[in-house]
């Protein structure tokens, strides 16, 4: 909570719902996380059981108790921009906490901080990660930076990303790639189209193939991932009286984590053999690793069903380091980034209680 206009402080002993409100009320739109990062760092450095490191506006705090197992709890500090008028400060309406960041994802961050303050002797060593710039282009992502520059900070047997999951467990995540499929024609005056060849018309078979495509459901570590292949953009033509000589259909492929990004790209290329297929963004998915002892103990302790994460999240960065990871946190992801972002307070409390039970079992 704010002590004065010039400094933000956090009291980690407050009720976890009140702590969530305190975090939300420290504005931290992407690239503007420093005030919140400073407050988080100061609060964590006051806990004698933690060693704290910082890189930019990413804070990593860890216990070193010599436990047989180490786990990571991770969450991002930034939010998408505020609305106009601003959807801060937070408001308590019945059983809901309303305001920017309540769902995505300061409820999860509050749970991390409360656990850091209240679980001084966990049964497994814990690494707490609070990172910046998750909500914008990947090049700025603080977790990406730590993976590249300080991968040893993230070494662990298992990781939990506290992104909103409506209080359920979502294992791993799907991968995603984007390709541009280009058709080529010959430009001509539209009054004499026989002098040219219409590239946009040639895009019809590409769209037909996409419409007819039957995506797979792939089971990985006992979870069903539903793949998807869709056109997400189309462009072509330079003027209203010119036969276009080029058309580009942009396609997004969401693929199960049994495939690498290169394997997924090869699959798309085989579907559109004969076309110019160029790769844009590509990010591997993450296997949930539910066959590992660390993951099994987590699922058993929480006593919740596990479903597949159908989107892409930063659990993939842990998977790339050989650390199995799941998503688990308070808030409905369908409400993330909305003008009336809100989170049931019970989900915040339940998430804290569940993780505390696991960390002290």
Report, as residue numbers or ranges, the catalytic residues. 78, 134
* Residue whose C-alpha is closest to residue 242's, from 204, 202, 185, 203: 185
For 50, 123, 259, 320, the CA distances from 163, given in Å and listed in that order, are 23, 24, 24, 18
Please give the distance of CA 207 from its chain centroid, rounded to a whole number: 30
d(CA 170, CA 311): 10
DSSP letter, residue 123: S
Spell out the alpha helix ranges (H) of 96-231.
Answer: 106-118, 142-149, 199-202, 204-212
Residues with Cβ < 8 Å from 183, sequence gap 6 or more? 199, 200, 202, 203, 206, 246, 247, 248, 249, 275, 276
Phi, psi of 180 (to 5 degrees): -110, 125
Rounded Cα distance between 135 and 337, Å, is 10
State the DSSP H helix or E strand holding residue 216, giving kind and residue range, or none if neither. none
């Amino acid at each position: 909570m704010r002590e004065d206009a010039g400094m933000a402080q956090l009291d980690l002993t407050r009720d976890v719902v009140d702590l969530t409100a305190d975090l939300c009320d420290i504005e931290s739109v992407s690239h503007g996380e420093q005030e919140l990062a400073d407050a988080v760092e100061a609060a964590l450095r006051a806990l004698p059981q933690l060693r704290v490191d910082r890189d930019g506006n990413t804070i990593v705090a860890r216990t070193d108790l010599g436990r047989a197992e180490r786990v990571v709890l991770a969450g991002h500090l930034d939010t998408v921009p505020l609305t106009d008028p601003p959807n801060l400060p937070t408001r308590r309406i019945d059983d809901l906490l309303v305001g920017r960041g309540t769902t995505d994802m300061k409820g999860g961050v509050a749970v991390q901080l409360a656990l850091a303050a209240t679980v001084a002797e966990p049964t497994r060593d814990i690494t707490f990660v609070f990172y910046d710039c998750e909500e914008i282009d990947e090049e700025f992502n603080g977790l990406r930076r730590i993976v590249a520059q300080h991968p040893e900070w993230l070494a662990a047997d298992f990781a939990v990303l506290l992104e909103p999951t409506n209080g359920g467990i979502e294992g791993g995540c799907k991968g995603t790639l984007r390709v541009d499929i280009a058709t080529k024609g010959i430009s001509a005056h539209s009054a004499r189209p026989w002098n040219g060849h219409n590239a946009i018309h040639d895009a019809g078979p590409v769209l037909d193939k996409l419409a007819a495509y039957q995506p797979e459901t792939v089971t990985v570590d006992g979870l069903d991932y539903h793949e998807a292949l869709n056109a997400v953009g189309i462009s072509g033509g330079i003027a209203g009286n010119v036969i276009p000589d080029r058309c580009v259909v942009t396609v997004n492929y969401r693929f199960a984590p049994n495939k690498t990004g290169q394997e997924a790209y090869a699959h798309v290329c085989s579907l559109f053999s004969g076309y110019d297929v160029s790769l844009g963004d590509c990010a591997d998915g993450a296997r949930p690793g539910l066959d590992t002892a660390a993951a099994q103990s987590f699922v058993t302790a929480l006593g919740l069903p596990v479903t597949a994460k159908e989107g892409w999240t930063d659990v993939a960065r842990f998977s790339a380091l050989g650390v199995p990871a799941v998503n688990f946190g308070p808030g409905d992801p369908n409400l993330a980034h909305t003008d009336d972002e809100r989170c049931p307070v019970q989900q915040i409390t339940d998430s804290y209680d569940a993780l505390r039970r696991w960390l002290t079992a």
